[in-house]
Amino acid sequence: MRTLDDLDVDGKRVLVRVDFNVPLDQGQKITDDARIQAALPTLRELRENGAKLLLAAHLGRPKDREPEFSLRPVAERLAELLGTDVKLAESLDDVPDGDVVMLENVRYEPGETKNDPELAKRYAALADVYVNDAFGAAHRAHASTEAVAHLLPSAAGRLLEREVATLRGILEDPARPLVAVVGGAKVTDKIGVLDAFLDRADTILIGGAMCFPFFKAQGHEVGDSLCEEEGIEPARAILEQGSDKLELPVDLIAGQEFDADTAVKTIDGVDVPAGWMGLDIGARSVERFAAVVASAGTVFWNGPMGAFELEPFAAGTRAIAEAIAASPATTVVGGGDSAAALAQFGLADDVTHLSTGGGASLELVEGKPLPGVEALS
Ligand code: ADP
Ligand code: MG
């Protein structure tokens, strides 16, 4: 993969695809600017090397030019962070000159998500060089992430470079033992990741609602727990293939409703009675999982251990996050909700690498080629 070291940008206009898909509240205020912050090293390096920047980014999934998906609040925040003027180009046909210019939401263009070559030509006509730093969008073949990369001298920005190197490093040459901690809501989304780790990891710890299809496959009662029906057969297959590597919870915290004020009880074991749902892993599970994490050489974590947004069910995720933060291992965290959990517990700076990509980090760890990355090779 080509990097900034392979590009001459002095005096050139560089089209930089960034991932500025930030959360906005009703009043259009940015509630978390981590993704903007994460692109700053690349943007600063390019400017120091004499480039003028033309930024391209998407925000949400607009159906047409809906104003609530405008990048204006993002341009304003970036201007504050860079300490310079950032102009917003409303239309591709009228892009102002300037040291830092941002195109409006690329998903306002109907051809963007179709990887339309004509749209890519219009992007390319606006710049001399292309840099992709949008790791979070690299698993999509879109006009601003894939097609345009073939039309200009192109390379990865520093964020994309670091994401790919770190996540590939886990697959290729991890310090052992390699431990995967997989949780969250959907087994079917994460089967590919489990398969990849069955081949490579020494231990796979399973928490969150992920564990219920496994328990169901083993013949346990799951009560009203979130248990994906389509996940049960894949869970059974994984149990047969790799049961010596898998560790499932041995106790649970259950609630009657998905609500912070609901009745709560500890279940010593993993059979959940009717009328209850398992919403967190229990204290004995935490102890076992934390010990595995403490003696790991590398930890990859994706997916919370429970419904951590609800205080009565946050303890398991908090304790595992703390164990990962305290572990001397190389620790890599992927997934939007896992990142949010780390931030909520004030531990975001205590892991080796916090990936900015949800889907992209999972696909990379699964060993799938990412179109946005392949286009830079
Ligand atoms: P990530 O974004 O890190 O990949 P997911 O999106 O897969 O993680 O899962 C996060 C969600 O899973 C959280 O909203 C959390 O509330 C939910 N979750 C975790 N455990 C449970 C559970 N036992 N029951 C219901 N929801 C759960
Ligand atoms: Mg999520």
| pTM of the full structure | 0.90
Burial status of residue 233 (CB atoms within 10 A of its CB: 0-12, 13-18, 19 or more): exposed
Task: Give distance in angstroms: CA of 303 to centre of ligand 1.
Answer: 6
pLDDT digits 0-9 by tens, 43-90: 999 999 999 999 999 999 999 999 999 999 999 999 999 999 999 999
Ligand 1 environment, Cβ below 6 A: 183-186, 208-209, 226, 278-279, 302-304, 306-307, 309, 335-338, 358
Backbone angles phi, psi at 254, to 5 degrees: -120, 155
Task: Give distance in angstroms: CA of 208 to centre of ligand 1.
Answer: 6
Residue 54 forms beta bridges with which residues?
A: 15, 101
Task: Please report the pLDDT score of residue 82 as a whole number.
Answer: 97
Task: Give distance in angstroms: CA of 200 to centre of ligand 2.
Answer: 24
Contact of 55 with 102, CB cutoff 8 Å = yes
- pLDDT > 70 fraction of the chain, expressed in percent and rounded: 100
Positions annotated as catalytic residues are 35, 186, 336, 359
In this structure, the residue with its CA closest to atom 27 of ligand 1 is 307
Residues 6+ apart with CB under 8 A from 268: 251, 282, 284
Residues 6+ apart with CB under 8 A from 5: none
Please identify, by atom number, the ligand 1 atom nearest to the C-alpha of residue 190: 7
Q: Please report, for residues 19, 59, 95, 210, the alpha-carbon distance to residue 79 in angstroms, rounded to integers and kept in the order given.
A: 16, 17, 17, 41
pLDDT digits 0-9 by tens, 292-331: 999 999 999 999 999 999 999 999 999 999 999 999 999 9
What DSSP line would sit under 128-141, residue for residue? SEEEE--GGGTTS-
Token readout for 177 is: 């033992």
